[in-house]
Structure formats: C-alpha cells, structure tokens
C-alpha cells in the first residue's frame, strides 16, 4: 500500500505526537501506522492486557514515513513500511534494529508463503513481521462497465491499457494510482517485460503505453478513488485490493445501488507487503516487541483483517477470519493466481530517478 500525497495532513497529525515520559508505571509504545489501517478496539485490548499505553499516529504515504525515519530520532517504536522498495532500502540505510525473536513466541503462527517472499527484502525476516499484504488490481463499478464495455467482469489489463477500451470509459471516469512504484511495474509486465526492469527503452515503452491512454484518465490519485467508486462517480480505478473492498463495503452500507468489484487481471500483478518493524533508535523496545507479539495473535490478526479487508501473513488467523473474506479469491488468491503475482525490488538512485521522471511525464505530460 503506497499512498502518495496529502503530506500536509500527515505531517500535521504527526506533530500531535509528543514524547511520552518514561517511568516504570507508565509504559508506552509509540506506533506509527497507515491511516484507516487498524480496528481501534485492538489497541484498547492491548492496553487492557499489558498495561502498555499506545500512542497511535498515522501517515498516508511511505515517502512521509521514510523521510521521518531517515532524518532520525523519529520517536516511534513500531512503524509499518511497505517491504519493497521502501523497507528494503531502509534496512540498508540502517534504520531498523534486528527483532529479538525470543520475545515473539507468536512467530510460529506466521504464514510461510508470505514470510518466504518477504525474505527477498528482509533475509530471515530479521527486521520485520508481516502485518497485511495485498495486490494492485482493478476496482470497477459492475453496472457501468456492463454498459460501457458490454462485459460482466474484468479479467485483463486490456481494459486500462488499450486506448480503444479507455475511450469508452473516459466519460464515466477512470482513476489511476498516483504511484510509479505500483503502476509502472504493472505496465512493464503487461508489455511482457520484467516488471523490475531498469532498461531505458523498456521504461520508455511502459511510459508510452500509459501516455497512450492518458487522455481518457480523469485523475491520478491514490486515495480519492475509494469514495469515488463507492459514490458511483467513476466506473474504474487501478487500486489496492483492500481499498476497493472498503469502497464496495461503503457502497453497500450507503444502499445507493452501486456494486463495486475487484479483479486481479490474468496477466498477473504486483503483490506488496506491509511489515511491522522497530526503528534502531526506538525508546521502548521491550514494549514494541510485546505489541508485535500481540498483533501476531491469531484472533487479533483475524480481527484486523475483518476490519481492513486485506489478507494478513498469519496462517493461524485464517480460521477466525470471516468466510466471505478468507474464501474470496480476489482477497486471498488461489494457488494459480498466486503463481502469477510478482514482487518489486528496490532500485538504485539513478534508476529511481528515471522512474520518477518518467512518471512525472505520465502525470503532467511534460
């Protein structure tokens, strides 16, 4: 989950956090997590069970989190970066401390499918445990797509990367994520290239592909599409799985007759992992470990997923997750789909620059 923008809101909310005084009686843990990403009752229960007060603060982009961590003395004890490219290069920069696994007995509940993939970025999962993971896919308004394209369900990226299809959708509204690390790998993969390619020509080809449908894109934005889909303002968005399901849920609650669906296209897509980690300069290391262990409790992890509609990396939690979530292959993909998902690797400075520059061309046309 890589939301961009809205730095102002995140920064101002971050300023509210004040360093809590340390004393034997008053144990605290300072948690910095994505906005709208936890069931608040989980935090209350944690305090009730352990006596540790949770100072909870939120951000809405990996970039904001990264900048605060790189500046040092962030004051946070638990943070939730996306594994790649963000956490991987933060580990390289020395931002995190190794976890004391003897204090994390609940590690045995974790799901090897997730842990082994995360190990690409965090060998042996030395620095982090998984909180949620998900995919980048297509969220759409079923009735509007039926009317515009004459299909009942979306199965392919052709819908957004074929100019002919996009022209038909332009009037009902299409949003793209404003996030180069999410959309560009998908475009590269669609063209049959390595999604992690740094090759200049292949990058240009992917950029041109998006440029060819750009006139039909209403907006590049990484969070507005949730409400836009739920209200029926737009017919399609490239988005993160859980966000689209939240949109579907909101539409259902509003009873406005809007039906939102999510598709993992058959060409394959990106899979991402949001990891919980402890900064190297954290003040409350003991409490941070207790918090991590609590989150890895199967029932707690299940509650978290029931709330945010994202799959988690906790295998033991699956029996406690609502059937409509755990049995939905768009949320918990089946084996066949899983084999089609790819992960992205961090880029070096020069390649990152090329990526951002190409994305600026996509978004602004310059």
Return residues touching another protein (CB under 8 A): 4-9, 12, 61, 63-64, 66-67, 69-72, 89, 92-95, 178, 180, 218-221, 231, 233, 349, 352-353, 356-357, 359-360, 363-366
- Give the nearer residue to another protein in terms of CB position, either 117 or 218: 218
Q: What is the CA radius of gyration of the chain?
A: 20
Q: Minimal distance in Å, beta carbon 64 to another protein?
A: 7
Q: Minimal distance in Å, beta carbon 95 to another protein?
A: 6
Lookup: tokens for 341: 């998902």
Give the span between the Cα atoms of 176 and 191, in whole angstroms.
18
| Residue 98 phi, psi dihedral angles, 5° rounding | -65, 145
- Picking from 14, 118, 129, the residue whose alpha carbon sits closest to that of residue 60 is 14
- Give the nearer residue to another protein in terms of CB position, either 61 or 305: 61
Other residues' Cβ atoms within 10 Å of the Cβ of residue 201: 9
- Give the nearer residue to another protein in terms of CB position, either 46 or 220: 220
Look at the alpha carbons of 276, 277, 279, 282 in this order and tell me if their dihedral is positive or negative: positive
Q: Minimal distance in Å, beta carbon 359 to another protein?
A: 8
- Give the nearer residue to another protein in terms of CB position, either 188 or 296: 188
Give the span between the Cα atoms of 188 and 195, in whole angstroms.
5
Q: Minimal distance in Å, beta carbon 357 to another protein?
A: 7
- Give the nearer residue to another protein in terms of CB position, either 83 or 304: 83
Give the span between the Cα atoms of 181 and 197, in whole angstroms.
12
Q: Minimal distance in Å, beta carbon 203 to another protein?
A: 15
- Give the nearer residue to another protein in terms of CB position, either 27 or 219: 219
User: Tokens 């799985």 map to which residue?
Assistant: 241
Grouping H, G, I as helix, E, B as strand and the rest as coil, residue 81 is coil
Are the C-beta atoms of 260 and 229 separated by less than 8 Å? yes
Give the span between the Cα atoms of 341 and 210, in whole angstroms.
21
Give the span between the Cα atoms of 62 and 86, in whole angstroms.
7
Q: Minimal distance in Å, beta carbon 138 to another protein?
A: 19
∠ CA 67-70-73, rounded to 5°? 105
- Give the nearer residue to another protein in terms of CB position, either 57 or 290: 57
Q: Minimal distance in Å, beta carbon 352 to another protein?
A: 6
Q: Could you tell me where the DSSP H helices lie in 150-276?
A: 158-161, 163-170, 180-190, 200-213, 224-231, 241-254
Other residues' Cβ atoms within 10 Å of the Cβ of residue 19: 11
- Give the nearer residue to another protein in terms of CB position, either 265 or 279: 279
Q: Minimal distance in Å, beta carbon 72 to another protein?
A: 5
Q: Minimal distance in Å, beta carbon 44 to another protein?
A: 28
- Give the nearer residue to another protein in terms of CB position, either 70 or 113: 70
- Picking from 91, 38, 65, the residue whose alpha carbon sits closest to that of residue 312 is 38
């Amino acid at each position: 989950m890589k939301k961009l923008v809205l730095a102002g809101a995140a920064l101002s909310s971050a300023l509210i956090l004040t360093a809590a005084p340390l004393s034997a009686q008053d144990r605290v843990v300072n948690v910095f997590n994505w906005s709208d990403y936890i069931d608040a009752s989980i935090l209350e229960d944690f305090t009730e069970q352990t006596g540790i007060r949770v100072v909870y603060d939120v951000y809405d982009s990996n970039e904001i989190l990264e900048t605060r961590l790189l500046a040092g003395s962030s004051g946070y004890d638990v943070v939730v970066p996306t594994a790649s490219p963000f956490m991987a290069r933060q580990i390289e920069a020395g931002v995190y401390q190794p976890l004391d696994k003897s204090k994390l007995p609940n590690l045995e509940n974790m799901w090897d499918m997730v842990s082994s993939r995360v190990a690409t970025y965090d060998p042996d999962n030395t620095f982090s445990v998984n909180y949620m993971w998900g995919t980048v896919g297509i969220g759409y308004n079923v009735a509007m797509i039926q009317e515009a394209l004459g299909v009942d369900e979306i199965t392919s990226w052709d819908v957004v990367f074929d100019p002919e299809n996009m022209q038909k959708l332009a009037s009902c509204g299409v949003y793209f994520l404003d996030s180069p690390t999410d959309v560009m790998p998908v475009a590269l993969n669609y063209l049959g290239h390595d999604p992690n390619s740094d090759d200049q020509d292949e990058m240009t080809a992917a950029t041109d592909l998006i440029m060819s449908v750009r006139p039909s894109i209403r907006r590049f934005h990484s969070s507005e599409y949730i409400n836009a889909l739920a209200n029926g303002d737009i017919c399609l968005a490239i988005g993160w799985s859980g966000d689209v399901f939240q949109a579907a849920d909101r539409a259902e609650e509003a009873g406005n007759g809007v039906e939102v669906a999510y598709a993992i296209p058959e060409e394959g897509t990106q899979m991402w992992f949001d990891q919980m980690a402890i900064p190297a300069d954290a003040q409350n290391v003991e409490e941070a470990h207790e918090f991590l262990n609590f989150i890895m409790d199967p029932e707690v992890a299940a509650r978290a997923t029931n709330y945010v509609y994202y799959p988690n990396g906790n295998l033991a939690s699956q029996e406690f997750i609502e059937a409509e979530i755990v049995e939905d292959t768009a949320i918990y993909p089946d084996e066949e789909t899983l084999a089609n998902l790819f992960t992205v690797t961090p880029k070096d400075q020069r390649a990152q620059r090329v990526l951002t520059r190409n994305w600026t061309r996509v978004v602004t046309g310059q």
